[in-house]
Amino acid sequence: MTDAAFLSTAPPRTTAQTYCRHCGEPVRGRGDAEFCCAGCASAHAIIGAAGLGAFYRRLEERRAHKPAPLETDFAPYARAAGTSDYELDLLVDGLDCAACVWLLESLLARNPAIQRVRAHLSTRRLSLRWRGSADGANAHVGLVAALGFRPAAYDVVTVASDADQETRELLRCLAVAGFAAANVMLLSVAIWSGHDGSMGDATRTLFHFISASIALPAVAYAGRPFFRSAISAARARRTNMDVPISIGVTLACLVSLHETWSGQQHAYFDSAITLLFFLLIGRYLERRARGRARQAVRALLALSSRSATVVAADGTLSQRRVDQLDTGDVLLVAAGERLGADGVVIEGRSSLDAALVSGESLPQSVEPGAKVFAGMVNLGASLRVKVTVASQHTLLSEIVRLVEAAEHGRSRFVAIADRVARAYAPVVHATALLTFLGWLVLGGLPWDRSLLIATAVLIITCPCALALAVPVVQVVASTRLLHRGVLLLSPTALERLAKIDHVVLDKTGTLTLGRPELIETNAHGEALAAAAAIAANSRHPLAQALMRAVPDTVPADGVVEHPGLGLQRGEVRLGSARFCGATNEIDDGHSELWLARPGERPMRFAFADRLRSDARDAVEALKRRGLTVELLSGDRAVAVARAAHEAGIERWRAETSPAAKAQYVAHLSKQGCRVLMVGDGLNDAPALAAAGASISPTTAAEATQNAADAVFQGDALQPVVEILDVARRADRLVHQNLALALLYNLSAVPLAILGVVTPLIAAVAMSSSSLLVIGNALRLGARPLAKEVR
Amino acid sequence: MDSLLILVPAALLLGVMALVAFLWALRNGQFDDPDGAAGRILFDDD
């Protein structure tokens, strides 16, 4: 093939841009093409053949996703149900609109073998039940993947978790309390308006009895979550917020029952049940937020788990779940695949990307006998790796152990609500007791009158607004962050983030994108375009980077890939220096590709990991907020110094091991710094756990995300600044709310002690303070942050 | 006052009916996928 023929396929710039009919991306290449890739074309064909073309209309503003090949074997995840049926739960990434639900359900239901299909939009879950064999799973899941969705196995054990049960129980309690509160309040309003004498004693007593018959069973049912917690706290000789709540509500019911029995004027049934209702709202919001965070972590992990290809003794290949690999198994690791276990290379030469494991940004070359670790990505030719799981000594388990040790320190952190409750409960009890004794001994009232007044004190001081003050702010803050692609994983994350004064950043994958970008080449114009056209045929990270560097690249035809060496199209070669016959090798620490064309000197393309586009601005923004910013990396000093300089960070450390990172962070904490660690690698996990608060990008390794308080999506570093801003504002609001709640108590308690608080006053005070606190919390969602970063 | 003897039980009965309906819906999984259900009603089976 001649150069002229090669050039003829250079991208013809079309004037009218066409868009892919499936995924909506601009179509590169011939003007009459309707799809951007073969995957999209086949997805469109499948949908069209099933007569579900209405899908594209129903997507409205959204776009379908580009299909990616399925890399996992789903048969092991299928579980038998009945004699010949199988079930499978999937987590489907991309299942984010009603049209997707409709498409998946309609399409899968066309298959007569499928007995049941149900897509859940809120949880992105797809439940399947089919007749046949377990292997059918791959056919069904393959169809889902062919449409552009990314399915992952959803472990059933983790789905039916305790958290789900608990949230449901709270919701049931909330329903019962809500019903009872509304009806008792209806009767109470009648009683209060009859206080002027228009209601007879007999009617009032009847109404009190009806109230009692509604409120008592409801309190017994809806109060269980509080009673249980209070009892377990009392057993452990501790006190928490639930102890005064339980005592207050129980005492209010008993005293009111006594009052009703003796035909007295005041009963606190409405206060008792309304109190429970408000408290349950707070508890429910808190648990739901916590459950969502947990579910989000599970979803992230499910999406990142893959199966490994095992080579049997007779040479046959099979897919196995990573957690079911044994010592001595031989794995076939294809180009672009992530290693599932630690092991030793027994066949093949390649280079591995260890960025996630050690923070090293340069690929490291391996040959038979080299030790490799779970989490490394194969960049070159396929390898055979023998698994060496010496259980306690794998790198991963070592890191997990470090994380656990470091997290021990963090568990000592006590949420502000709990701290307040610990100080608050004894004061409440003492005040109520003193009121009772005071009226009984000094005031000369009979015991039941004194008890009634003491009960009023307990009801007024019940931390209703206090219990709502923190969860409502947390819900508003996490919703706000969720819209910016940030997920909070720990319930106390916001509080700890608000106190940060020192930010430690990791380099590879955190400050940088963690993927190579073209930074330097001596090829220009058509040579660059030609190289990109050839590169577009490969999934190798460097080839992908080259393709990204040249916009509107059309894949060239007739390209042959030589694994581990490069790409060839006729006489034109693109690949390693050896493959292209380049002799003038330069060693400047960059990854490289060479382009060799007949009659020309080989041309070099150098790649390096580039900073996130807004890294400098984000670092600047952090400094403006008075934070000390530091760079801590496992990479070589040259690379770290360059990245630090580019991002405008003065303090940096290079070549730090995972344990050294954790030690350094612990050292900073000991000096009184409140450290925020931002990192993505496995080597950062111990440091993340050791820091006062921690954030990871969603591209981070599993163990790392587990150790982080929050994860953020996308190519920008800006979310880190956003998280800190929201955390600080949320912290201010929590303190305001606590102050409001305290102020309300300080002003109402003297009245209660004097015995002038009737059930009517109690109800008004309680509701108004709760509404005030909720209203204050909602300000966080409504207003833009004071200082947005430009 | 006689009206109370009818109206109060009637009001309570209605309230209990709503409560039972809610608990039934909760148990029946009606709240499992609120976002999906909102969109689902717009599509007929064509």
**The domain that contains A155 carries what CATH number?**
3.30.70.100
B41 touches chain A (CB under 8 A): no
pLDDT for res A504 = 92
What distance in Å separates the CA atoms of residue A771 and residue A748, rounded to the nearest whole number? 16
Residue A119: pLDDT over 90? no
At A405, the pLDDT band (50, 70, 90 cuts) reads: low
Q: Which helix H or strand E contains A129, and what residues bound it?
A: strand A125-131
Q: How far is B36 from chain A (nearest CA, A)?
A: 5
Is 50 exceeded by the pLDDT of residue A9? no
How far does CA A613 lie from the centroid of its chain? 23
For residue A507, give the DSSP letter: I
Where is pLDDT greater, at A484 or A499? A499
Q: Are residues A282 and A242 in the same domain?
A: yes
The one-digit pLDDT tens for each residue of chain B (46 residues) are 678 888 888 988 999 999 999 999 888 878 777 777 777 777 765 5
Judged by a CB distance cut-off of 8 A, whether residue B12 touches chain A is yes
Give, in order, the Cα–Cα distances in Å from A489 to each of A292, A295, A478, A482, A707: 9, 9, 10, 11, 9
pLDDT given at position A253: 93
Say if A127 falls within a structural domain: yes
Q: What total of structural domains would you count in chain A?
A: 6
Q: How far is B28 from chain A (nearest CA, A)?
A: 12
Closest CA to A454 of A428, A421, A420, A426: A428
The residue out of A610, A628, A647 marking a domain boundary is: A610
Whether residue A241 has pLDDT greater than 60:
yes
Nearest CA-CA partner of A510 in A300, A304, A715, A726: A715
Asked if A502 contacts A627 with a C-beta cutoff of 8 angstroms, the reply is yes
The distance from CA A433 to its chain's CA centroid, rounded to whole angstroms, is 46
B21 touching A (Cβ < 8 Å): no
Please name the amino acid found at residue A364.
Q
Regarding whether A260 and A165 lie in a shared domain, the answer is yes
Residue A444 lies in a domain: no
Q: Are A688 and A706 in contact (CB under 8 A)?
A: no
For residues A508 and A171, the model is more confident at A171
Q: Please name which of A387, A443, A336, A280 lies closest in space to residue A68, comparing C-alpha atoms.
A: A336
Whether A66 is in a domain gets the answer no
| CB within 8 Å: A122 and B42 | no
pLDDT (average), residues A376-381: 74
The CB-based long-range contact list for A188-195 (8 Å cut-off, 24+ gap) reads A188/A269, A188/A270, A188/A759, A188/A760, A188/A763, A192/A759, A192/A760, A195/A265
Contacts B38 to A, Cβ<8 Å = 98
Whether A519 is covered by a domain: the verdict is yes
Q: Residue A213's CB: how many other CB atoms inside 10 A?
A: 13
User: Are residues A176 and A218 both part of a single domain?
Assistant: yes
pLDDT attached to residue A256: 92
For strand A150-153 and strand A85-93, is the pairing parallel, antiparallel, or unpaired?
A: antiparallel
User: Same structural domain for residues A674 and A563?
Assistant: no
Q: What angle do CA A467, A478, A222 make, to 5 degrees?
A: 35
Across the range A338-366, mean pLDDT stands at 75
**Nearest CA to CA, how far is A558 from chain B (Å)?**
43
> What distance in Å separates the CA atoms of residue A467 and residue A581, rounded to the nearest whole number?
72
pLDDT digits (tens, 9 = 90+) for A183-231: 999 899 988 888 887 888 888 999 999 999 999 999 999 999 999 988 9
- The reported pLDDT for the residue numbered A435 is 92
Structural domain that includes position A587: 515-610
Backbone angles phi, psi at A466, to 5 degrees: -60, -40
Nearest CA in chain B to A119: B36
Same domain, A672 and A633: yes
Tokens of B3: 């009206």
Q: What is the pLDDT of residues A249-295, one digit of tens each?
A: 999 999 999 999 988 888 889 989 998 998 898 888 878 776 666 66
Structure tokens given for A210 = 């009806």
* Residue A538 · residue A376 · CB < 8 Å: no
Residue of A121, A211, A213 to mutate for B, most B C-beta atoms under 10 A: A121
Least trusted range by pLDDT, from A72-86, A153-167, A327-341: A153-167
pLDDT score of A294: 64
pLDDT single digits (tens) A617-648 = 999 999 999 999 999 887 778 888 888 888 88
Of A364, A393, A422, which residue constitutes the final position of a domain? Answer: A393
Q: Please give the pLDDT value at position A257.
A: 93
pLDDT at residue A548 in the model:
80
Q: Is B32 within 8 Å of chain A by CB?
A: yes
- The structure tokens 């049934």 sit at A269
pLDDT for A14 equals: 43
- Nearest Cα to A70, choosing from A140, A141, A133, A119? A141
pLDDT at A787: 43
Measured between beta carbons, the chain B residues lying within 8 angstroms of A182 are 15
Q: Is A509 left (phi over 0), alpha (psi -120 to 50) or beta?
A: left
Task: Give the number of other CB atoms < 10 A from CB of residue A579.
Answer: 19
Q: A338 and A283 in one domain? A: no
The C-alpha atoms of residue A387 and residue A8 are separated, in whole angstroms, by 49
Interchain pair B19, A121: CB under 8 A: no
d(CA A88, CA A75): 9
Same domain, A542 and A626: no
Same domain, A167 and A298: yes
> What DSSP string describes A31-52?
TT---SSHHHHHHHHHHHHTT-
Tell me the sheet residues that pair with A377.
A338, A353
Query: Which pairing describes strands A566-569 and A572-575: parallel, antiparallel, or unpaired?
Result: antiparallel
Distance of alpha carbon A383 from its chain centroid, rounded? 33
The per-residue pLDDT of chain A, averaged, comes to: 80
The whole-angstrom separation of Cα A69 and Cα A146 is 8
Both tokens of residue A109? 């239901």
Does this model's pTM top 0.80? My answer is: no
Strand partners for A331? A310, A385
Residues A333 and A275 in one domain: no
A425 lies in some domain? no
Same domain, A250 and A388: no
Most confident of A251-255, A543-547, A556-560: A251-255
